[in-house]
């Protein structure tokens, strides 16, 4: 008999808990918008740039955290200083945006002005011109410059050893190394031709050569 009474007490207890939780769900979640975003934190850039982007994202304050998707943060793609980003939802009502800043890969003489090209393929704005990146002349085609540097990065060449990249109307390039050696490439720049030039400049027999000319297929022409 005692066991039945105890069971009834437990059932009554759990029923009260269920009613309380149901009341909390109906009042707090619905009336107080438990999953409404009240804070967006941006990290990855300097403090000033982080705050500027936070201000641009204030329109998301008050949104339901479950409604956020990639489209919600598309304006980040318009910020040239950012290479990539990751959005972390911190339930119930906060969002953290982690940014990977773009890094300078070259200085381009663009319509008679020097601009900085980032590793996101966009022109980025820094206080000072970077060092240890090549200076590019002869073209205003930023996309072409970016694609060319990507080919260099896939080769055995260390881009930091290149002082200048000069484009010609024929769409071929010359490069000048930090040791002032010049290499002339054919129109179709390939990883193979880059690796060949890298091997040549490391050979003792080419130490005195100031210019290595690879423009003619199958031939290596040097100038002292």
Residue 74, domain member (yes or no): yes
Residue 156 and residue 95 share a domain: no
The token duo for 70 is 């990639």
Sheet with 104-110: list strands edge to edge. 123-124, 113-118, 104-110, 135-137, 162-167, 173-177, 182-184, 211-213, 221-223
Which CATH number does the domain housing residue 159 bear? Answer: 3.40.50.11690
Assess contact for 135 and 127: CB atoms under 8 A: no
Residue 171 and residue 197 share a domain: yes
Residue 167 and residue 116 share a domain: yes
Residue 97 and residue 110 share a domain: no
140 closest CA partner among 180, 177, 100, 113: 113
Largest CA distance in the chain: 110
Residue 108 and residue 200 share a domain: yes
Strand 94-101 and strand 39-43: the pairing is: parallel
Residue 26, domain member (yes or no): no
Bridge partners, residue 99, by sequence? 85
Residue 10, preceding peptide bond in cis (omega within 30° of 0) = no
Residue 87 and residue 69 share a domain: yes
Half-sphere exposure of 135 (CA within 13 A, CB side): 12
Question: Which parts of the chain sit beneath pLDDT 50?
Answer: 1-6, 10, 23-31
Residue 33, domain member (yes or no): no
Could you report the per-residue pLDDT of 82-137, keeping only the tens digit for each? 999 999 999 999 999 999 999 999 999 999 899 999 999 999 998 899 989 999 99
Residue 87 and residue 118 share a domain: no
Residue 122 and residue 77 share a domain: no
Give the contacts of 157 (CB within 8 A, at least 6 positions apart).
194, 195, 197, 198
Strand 82-90 and strand 94-101: the pairing is: antiparallel
Please report the pLDDT score of residue 112 as a whole number: 87
Residue 168 and residue 157 share a domain: yes
Count how many domains the chain has.
2
Please report the pLDDT score of residue 5 as a whole number: 39
Q: Which domain holds residue 66?
A: 39-101
Residue 6, domain member (yes or no): no
Residue 156 and residue 135 share a domain: yes
Please report the pLDDT score of residue 139 as a whole number: 95
Alpha carbon distance 149, 165 (integer Å): 10
Assess contact for 182 and 210: CB atoms under 8 A: yes
Residue 51, domain member (yes or no): yes
């Amino acid at each position: 008999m005692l066991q039945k009474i105890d069971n009834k007490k437990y059932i009554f207890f759990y029923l009260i808990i269920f009613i309380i939780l149901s009341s909390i769900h109906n009042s707090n979640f619905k009336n107080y918008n438990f999953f409404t975003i009240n804070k967006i934190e941006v990290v990855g850039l300097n403090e000033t740039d982080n705050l500027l982007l936070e201000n641009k994202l204030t329109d998301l304050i008050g949104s339901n955290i479950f409604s956020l998707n990639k489209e919600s943060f598309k304006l980040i793609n318009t910020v040239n200083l950012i290479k990539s980003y990751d959005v972390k939802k911190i339930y119930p009502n906060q969002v953290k945006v982690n940014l990977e800043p773009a890094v300078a890969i070259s200085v381009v003489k663009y319509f008679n002005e020097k601009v900085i090209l980032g590793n996101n393929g966009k022109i980025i704005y820094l206080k000072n011109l970077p060092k240890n990146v090549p200076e590019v002349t002869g073209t205003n085609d930023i996309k072409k410059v970016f694609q060319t540097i990507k080919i260099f990065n896939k080769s055995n060449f260390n881009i930091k050893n290149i002082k200048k990249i000069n484009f010609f109307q024929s769409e071929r390039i010359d490069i000048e190394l930090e040791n002032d050696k010049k290499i002339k490439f054919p129109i179709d720049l390939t990883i193979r031709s880059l690796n060949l030039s890298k091997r040549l400049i490391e050979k003792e027999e080419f130490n005195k050569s100031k210019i290595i000319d690879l423009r003619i297929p199958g031939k290596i022409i040097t100038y002292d």
